[in-house]
A and B are shown apart, each in its own frame.
Chain A
Amino acid sequence: MVEAAICGTEFTDFLSAVIYPLVAYAGIVAGILIAITFMAGQFLRNPKLNVWSRTEILQLFMSIISLFLLVLMFNSFCAIDMRDVAEIFEIPYTCDSPPCSVFDAAEDYLWKSGVYCHNALIVARYHLKGYTVLGYMGEFECDMSTGFIGWGCWFGYSGTNVQPYGGYAAMNAALGTIFNSTLMSYLAVLNYLIILIYIYKGFAFFLFPIGIFLRSMPYMRAFGSVMIAVSISFVIIYPFFLAVFSLMGDAIYGECFLYDCDIGMGNYLHEDTYPDHVAGVGGSIASAFSQDYVKEHYYFPEGEMAPETIAFAGTAFIAGFFLPSVAMLGAIASTVYLARLYGSEIDLSRIMQMV
């Protein structure tokens, strides 16, 4: 594994110094084994061994072609500029920090989706906090009131305890479920990002030489095929799908990473209006006269935005959970397809349950 960025010189050096020699060793060892088997077949006049050797040499040839394909695709993905791709398809696309290779665009998509989900999470958290604080606010209505003076409290303590906003349970329940689902979206997008970084650090490439070697071993064809299929699918297909989704960034997370750019983060959040110690005392005194003033002045100066917050969470689900899951499905389905091409049928239904 390497610390370098994918497509960088250091990463290419890692491929040349570690992966390609490993592939060459695996190919040579497999070739020697096949040659020995062929010679043994000739010597023993055993047609089964001869047929096996011929089949295996063809499979080894296929593996070498696969390596050629993987390297070709890898280099192409490093060379392709996504701005050119967007131009070909006449789609508006902004690349914040060139170079904008396919691999960069894939990482960029997940990173921006993560920011989008995190913003949704912040907005949901703010509203939950606001409603929870308001829910616990209490007031004491003194009996025998004349205007705002309650004579019942003049000599003692006579009146009614009330929680004016105690009923924000519905809103808290609504935002609580939404907060949880947004948290899932955020964790999901981070999970997919970690998988991508894991691939970019070169580990998936290690599967390739192992696959080449195993494919030529008796009874190990299926396992070796899966190794190669996983390697190609996760190095090529998974980033490719994410890069395609990054071209749709305008519709998915937009430039402002908010549900509605016109509303703006400043209108969703008013962290600075939460009362500090001094203002808290002022708020407490103010609440004796008007609870609505406290709510509107301290917590939601721009009005409550619960529906917008919930809608934000819904769109974060698409950006952070749905589309990356589709990319992962594409990669897994491609693994099945490629494994079939290499001659082995694999059942990934149980692994799919983890997606």
Chain B
Amino acid sequence: MKKLLFVLLLLAPLSFAAWVSVAAMAVMVSVVILAAVYGVAIGIESEELKVLSKDEFFQLIVLVLLIAVFFIGDGMLNAISTNSAFTQGQPTIQDAAIVSLDETYDKLSLNLEKIASSDVNVAKEASRTLSCYITGGGYSVSACGGFTMLGTPFSFAGSLTAYAIAEVSAVKQLVIIARDYALALLLPIGIILRTFRFSRGAGGFLIALGISLYLLVPAGIVFVDMLNEQFLSDPVSSEYTEDDPSALSFGDPDSSSSFTGCEAGMPWGDYNEDRAIDAYQKLRTQLKYYLYIGLLKATLGPVVALLLFIGGLRALSSIFGMEVDVSPISRFV
């Protein structure tokens, strides 16, 4: 084992990227410190220090193995990342997740536009008040109050859609960071830090962070997409996806989905109430078209991705030397 370690140490600076030279230097410094500690242990006959030195030696072997694993087959992580089962026609799983998130973002933006447009149209009807005054005398009638019931659900829908857009954008940002820096920066720095006993905890945490970000965040998005594909292949899904939601409009002769607007001066009869109810029924029918994107694509995907990330961070940081209390991150979900 010692010979293998020595050979790996000699090869490392020659064969690999620049950071491996730094890692090799870190290993060498660690070996020197280890030798000194072992010498002191023999000198003062301290069994505790001898055990510590042996333990550190095993950690060094683990480190060299980690570096070796990192490079075998162009990186095991890259192999998983480019596995065609997960990439959905894209070069890597990260690219697949970014494409999926972009698609979700576009649909959510369109939905927000429709919700805002519907809200504007409905509120315009609800705000109508008829006035008739001549020479200081007259009357005022507001018969469109029935339309105000539609304002609250639109506000709620606006908030939910905004959260979904923010969530999708935030997770996309995480995936981009993971794609560009997890293997190039976090993992190598983590490996170097893991060399020394004092920084082993921080190193283990960075390694866990790198792997979790690189694999588990995009995996969460892609796995939920796979579930969605199953759902879409079922005939029942057509009820939720066959039509795009359209904005509610009133008194628009060019639109087939347009409703008759409110007549502010007609408080009698059920004309205005019926029109408000018609608009509500249309809204109720359309709600399910918003659900697929809003709940399945935009909420479930990021939530599963973050849960996988948090679980992975905890498990991997424990494996690499330091268990991290991830409860503060769990509260993000």
Contact = CB atoms under 8 A, between A and B. Distances in A.
B202 A330 contact: yes
A333 B129 contact: no
A152 B138 CA distance: 13
A244 B19 CA distance: 14
Nearest to A321: B332
Interface string A161-177: 11111111111111111
A178 B127 CA distance: 27
B120 A168 contact: yes
A160 B159 contact: no
Contacts of B131: 140, 157-161
Binding site secondary structure of chain B: helix
B123 A156 contact: no
A160 B105 contact: no
A204 interface: no
A325 B329 CA distance: 8
B325 A177 contact: no
Interface in B173-216: 173-174, 176-177, 180-181, 184-186, 188-189, 197-202, 205-206, 209
B132 A157 contact: yes
Given A307-B109, A333-B322, A91 B184 contact: yes
Interface stretch (A1-9, A14-22, A310-318): A310-318
B19 A88 contact: yes
B202 A170 contact: no
A87 interface: yes
B30 interface: no
Q: Which of A232, A248, A319, A349 has the most CB of B within 10 A?
A: A248
A232 B199 CA distance: 10
Interface stretch (A208-216, A282-290, A334-342): A334-342
B129 A157 contact: no
Nearest to A355: B328
Given A167-B120, A171-B119, A338 B166 contact: no
B97 interface: no
A176 B156 CA distance: 12
B156 A173 contact: yes
A237 B203 CA distance: 10
B325 A333 contact: yes
A168 B116 contact: yes
A329 B119 contact: no
A299 B105 CA distance: 24
B29 to A, nearest CB: 11
B18 A87 contact: yes
Contacts of A307: 105, 108-109, 112-113, 165
Q: Which residue of A163, A167, A181, A333 has the most chain B CB atoms within 10 A of its CB atom?
A: A167
B124 interface: yes
A230 B94 CA distance: 37
Given A251-B181, A310-B166, A156 B202 contact: no
A170 B113 CA distance: 10
Nearest to B190: A244
Interface range on chain A (Cβ under 8 Å from partner): 35 or more
Given A167-B121, A173-B158, A251-B176, A156 B325 contact: no
Interface string B158-173: 1101110111111001
Given A170-B119, A174-B162, A310-B169, A237 B202 contact: yes
B162 A160 contact: no
A108 to B, nearest CB: 16
Contact of A174 (B161, B186, B206): B161
Contacts of A174: 112, 158-159, 161-162
A318 B174 contact: yes
Interface in A212-264: 232, 237, 240-241, 244, 247-248, 250-252, 259
A326 B174 CA distance: 13
B119 A310 contact: no
Given A175-B162, A337-B201, A162 B322 contact: no
Given A314-B173, A337-B201, A341-B198, A170 B115 contact: yes
Contacts of A181: 166
A306 B134 CA distance: 44
Nearest to A66: B198
Interface in B253-273: 264-265
A123 to B, nearest CB: 13
B159 A177 contact: yes
Contacts of B18: 87-90
Interface in A298-312: 304, 306-307, 310-312
B328 A329 contact: yes
Contacts of B122: 167
B85 interface: no
A11 interface: no
Given A167-B123, A171-B158, A251-B177, A314 B135 contact: no
B291 to A, nearest CB: 17
Interface string A131-164: 0000000101001000000001001111111111
A73 B120 CA distance: 60
B201 A314 contact: no
A241 B177 CA distance: 15
A201 to B, nearest CB: 23
B65 interface: no
30 contacts: A89-B19, A89-B185, A89-B189, A157-B132, A158-B133, A159-B130, A159-B131, A160-B264, A162-B124, A162-B128, A166-B120, A167-B118, A167-B122, A170-B154, A173-B162, A174-B112, A174-B158, A241-B206, A248-B185, A251-B181, A307-B165, A310-B162, A311-B169, A313-B169, A315-B173, A319-B173, A322-B170, A330-B206, A333-B322, A337-B321
**What 4 A-B pairs come out closest when comparing CB atoms?**
A167-B123, A170-B158, A337-B201, A314-B169
Given A170-B157, A251-B173, A259-B169, 13 more contacts: A69-B198, A157-B138, A168-B123, A174-B159, A237-B199, A311-B166, A317-B166, A322-B170, A322-B329, A329-B326, A330-B324, A337-B322, A338-B198
